[in-house]
Amino acid sequence: MTSSVLYAYVRSLVSPSNCFTPLYVPVTNIPVSDVKIRPEFLELFRHANIEPRHLITLDDLPDMSVIQSQLRPEDTKWILVDHNALQGQLGKIYSDRVWGVIDHHEDEQKVPADTGREPRLIVKAGSCTSLVTEYCRQSWDSLSKSSITSGAAHAQGESLADDAALTTLWDAQIARLGLASILIDTSNLQSKDKTTEHDAKAVTYLEAKIMSCPQTGAKFDRDEFYKKIDSAKKDIGGLDLQDILRKDYKQWDDGSGKLGVSSVVKPIEFLQKKAADEADTQSMGDAFLDAVRSFAKARGLSLYSIMTTSTSSTGEFQRELLVWAFDRTAVSFARRFASESKMELGLEDWHGSDGKSLEQDGEAQWRRVWWQRKVQHSRKRVAPLLREAMA
């Protein structure tokens, strides 16, 4: 969301010459109902003068039954940010109309090598927003400089000075939007495994935008800002389990079956308790597995994974990984993943506080839960490993 809004903001105000369009429309790739299950969005919007209704989501596009006639592929060009392969129904219709990408995931080679006046930038970074900021920096500087100069140079035109002040405020608000993503993705630049030079430079640049604005700079404190957004992201106790699983969910269909991966900011035992409370039962394990099975079945998944992050009682960052195969073909994929990825991910057998493992070992279904000791590997690495096992 932040990458697309930032990119569209700068490119719409400083469009390259002879570009496809002077107006870039930022589409947040979720339905509008998913906005409410992202408490970090709602907290961040307060700092950026945005309301949920301002976002353009999938629900704002024409209905899929008529989209090709109302939004013809030949009348569009798509720029992807924070992913580099257009998925789902949009991918089926518009994948040949992708003409630019800025991303920090593994390159799936779906975007043309020559993207003309649009970027083709796929680089390792903690946050995609850092790469968007870096790419847009020169244009953004020219926009800000032009606004300030025109306002200051015309003392007789107070409206021009007002325009300059307004641009400075808008810049600061968009900068806070982008800064939030980078800080969350890099744990306030403290994650040694994720933080890159791209992230550090982008934070410095965006903070300068914020500090140069009188309305936002005087009281801004990066650490406090990060804590507010981070706390909101982890505040998922009020969500239903099904919403928790879809809050940060990605899905792929490469022809061998559908793969889904949910990232959750709470441990599996939290999810078990949530499931038991919702089912009004004492059997946490059974309630949790029933809920996970229902989630996967509703999406037609052959292979489903849940990745959790949490902090141990001693303050250590930790990860858990659940992988569940739902048919015979997927069972072979899951076993291959477990065998080939065990060392790289540092997979160790998991048992809950009740001593149960949640394992299932059959020909028609197969399930494992592990501690993932190589915690530097997020979904950016685990999902490609799962997809490789399905190839």
Between 344 and 14, the higher pLDDT residue: 344
Over residues 209-229, the mean pLDDT reads: 93
Over residues 85-97, the mean pLDDT reads: 91
Give me the residue spans of the domains in the chain.
2-230, 241-389
Q: What is the pTM of this model?
A: 0.86
CA angle 331, 326, 283 (to 5 degrees): 115
Task: Give the separation between CA 367 and CA 308, rounded to whole angstroms.
Answer: 16
Residue 233 has pLDDT above 80, yes or no: yes
Q: Given this model, what pLDDT does residue 147 score?
A: 57
Task: Give the separation between CA 33 and CA 242, rounded to whole angstroms.
Answer: 13
Q: Given this model, what pLDDT does residue 126 score?
A: 96
Nearest of 307, 329, 370, 26 to residue 177 by alpha carbon: 26
Q: Given this model, what pLDDT does residue 270 score?
A: 96
Between 64 and 173, the higher pLDDT residue: 173
10 Å Cβ neighbour count for 231?
12
In this predicted model, what pLDDT tens digit does every residue of 122-165 receive, in sequence order? 999 999 999 999 999 999 998 876 655 544 444 444 455 566 78
Q: Given this model, what pLDDT does residue 161 score?
A: 57
Query: What CATH number does the domain located at 2-230 have?
Result: 3.90.1640.10
Q: Given this model, what pLDDT does residue 356 score?
A: 87
In this predicted model, what pLDDT tens digit does every residue of 320-355 receive, in sequence order? 999 999 999 999 999 999 999 999 999 999 998 888
Structure tokens at 294: 């229902």
Where does the pLDDT of residue 99 fall: very low under 50, low under 70, confident under 90, or very high at 90 and above?
A: very high
Q: Check if the beta carbon of residue 274 is closer than 8 Å to that of residue 241.
A: yes
Average of per-residue pLDDT values in the chain? 91
Residue 358 has pLDDT above 50, yes or no: yes
Structure tokens at 253: 């269909």
Task: Give the separation between CA 344 and CA 45, rounded to whole angstroms.
Answer: 38
3-state SS string over the chain? CHHHHHHHHHHHHCCCCCCCCCCCCCEECCCHHHHHHCHHHHHHHHHHCCCHHHCEEHHHCCCCCCHHHHCCHHHCCEEEECCCCCCHHHHHHHHHHEEEEEECCCCCCCCCCCCCCCCEEECCCCCHHHHHHHHHHHHHHHHHHHHHHHHHCCCCCHHHHHHHHHHHHHHHHHHHHHHHHHHHHCCCCCCCCCCCHHHHHHHHHHHHHHHCCHHHHCCCCHHHHHHHHHHHHHCCCCCCHHHHHHHCEEEEECCCCEEEEEEECCCHHHHHHHHHHHHCCCCHHHHHHHHHHHHHHHCCCCEEEEEEEEECCCCCEEEEEEEEECCHHHHHHHHHHHHHHHHHHCEEECCCCCCCCCCEECCCCEEEEEEECCCCCCHHHHHHHHHHHCC
Task: Give the separation between CA 6 and CA 390, rounded to whole angstroms.
Answer: 35
Structure tokens at 334: 């899951």
Residue 98 has pLDDT above 80, yes or no: yes
CATH architecture of 241-389: Roll (3.10)
In this predicted model, what pLDDT tens digit does every residue of 74-86 receive, in sequence order? 999 999 999 999 9
Strand partners of residue 292: none
Over residues 198-213, the mean pLDDT reads: 96
10 Å Cβ neighbour count for 230?
18
Residue 295 has pLDDT above 70, yes or no: yes
Structure tokens at 390: 């399905």
Between 259 and 18, the higher pLDDT residue: 259
b (16+ CB within 10 A) / e for 148-170:
beebeeeeeeeebbeebbebbeb
Where does the pLDDT of residue 229 fall: very low under 50, low under 70, confident under 90, or very high at 90 and above?
A: very high
